[in-house]
Amino acid sequence: MKLISWNVNGLRAVVGKGFADIFADLDADVVCLQETKLQAGQIDLEFLGYSSYWNYAEKKGYSGTAIYTRVAPLSVSLGIGVAEHDTEGRVVTLEFDEFFLVNVYVPNSQDGLRRLDYRMSWEDAFREYLLSLRAKGKAVVVCGDLNVAHEEIDLKNPATNHFNAGFSDEERGKFSQWLAAGFVDSWRMQHPDEAKYSWWSYRMAARERNVGWRIDYFVVSEDFKDRIVSTDIHNEIYGSDHCPVEIVLK
């Protein structure tokens, strides 16, 4: 089973940059999108053989997540069941026979870490949500833009970004707590020493110079890590400031 996750930074924009062809070339069983920046009815984009499920932010042109799947889910849920965290369209969960798939767009702490307190609250609530899924007796696969580079290897310039959003001690610590609760960073498990990035600023030709961050992940519960066949970061694919990331499960 091949799964793709991609922060498209505006789905309508990336549709104009060859999204349909990229979607076809990736030939995934499930494609999870973040930052769709859509409201219901603003786009008609379906693919033969796939069903789609959408979670929209209340604020127009902001956030939003979606999943395309050619494997029929047993159930679909939107959000994490916490009112204060469920207005921004950040989570779609599909239940399959053997696991829950959670597509997430984690809140950005913003310049000056001005939204860090909210981010910390979100992290605790989201971790509890994942553990509640685990308590149902199935594995959990989480994908999306997690807005954190966990270790120094996960960004080009760790020293100069130590106190910036996405690489603060607080955000990295929450990700460590999540992993300690019984989850595995699939890319880092398979590529322990490789520096490869999934996001680049639009400023200062960052992508051309490969001055990037790895903030897009597939994280799986410990009991599913032996099902990982391969992982990939498709930094050859353009259209967004992020590139797609991939996992193949047996």
Residue showing tokens 């997540």: 65
Cβ(247)–Cβ(32) below 8 Å: no
Kindly name the residue from 56, 68, 105, 197 that is annotated as catalytic.
Answer: 105
Percent of the chain with pLDDT over 90: 100
What pLDDT does residue 239 have?
A: 97
d(CA 91, CA 78): 6
Tell me if residue 241 is catalytic: no
Residue of 109, 65, 117 whose CA lies nearest to 91: 65
Pull the structure tokens for residue 237.
């694919």
pLDDT tens per residue across span 87-101: 999 999 999 999 999
What pLDDT does residue 18 have?
A: 97
**What amino acid occupies position 208?**
E
Distance of CA 174 to the CA centre of its chain: 16
d(CA 18, CA 7): 15
Name the helix (H) or strand (E) containing 246.
strand 245-249
SS3 20: helix
Q: How far is CA 3 from CA 32, 40, 101, 229, in A?
A: 8, 24, 10, 12
Which residues are within 8 A (CB) of 223 and not within 5 positions of it... i.e. 6 or more apart? 139, 182
One-character DSSP codes across 164-202: STTS-HHHHHHHHHHHHTTEEEHHHHH-TT----SEE-S
Which residues are within 8 A (CB) of 180 and not within 5 positions of it... i.e. 6 or more apart? none
pLDDT tens per residue across span 36-83: 999 999 999 999 999 999 999 999 999 999 999 999 999 999 999 999
For the chain, the residue count is 250
Average pLDDT, the chain: 97
What pLDDT does residue 34 have?
A: 98
pLDDT tens per residue across span 110-141: 999 999 999 999 999 999 999 999 999 999 99
Rounded average pLDDT over 224-233: 98
Tell me if residue 56 is catalytic: no
What pLDDT does residue 153 have?
A: 98
Kindly name the residue from 145, 154, 185, 216 that is annotated as catalytic.
Answer: 145
d(CA 201, CA 63): 18
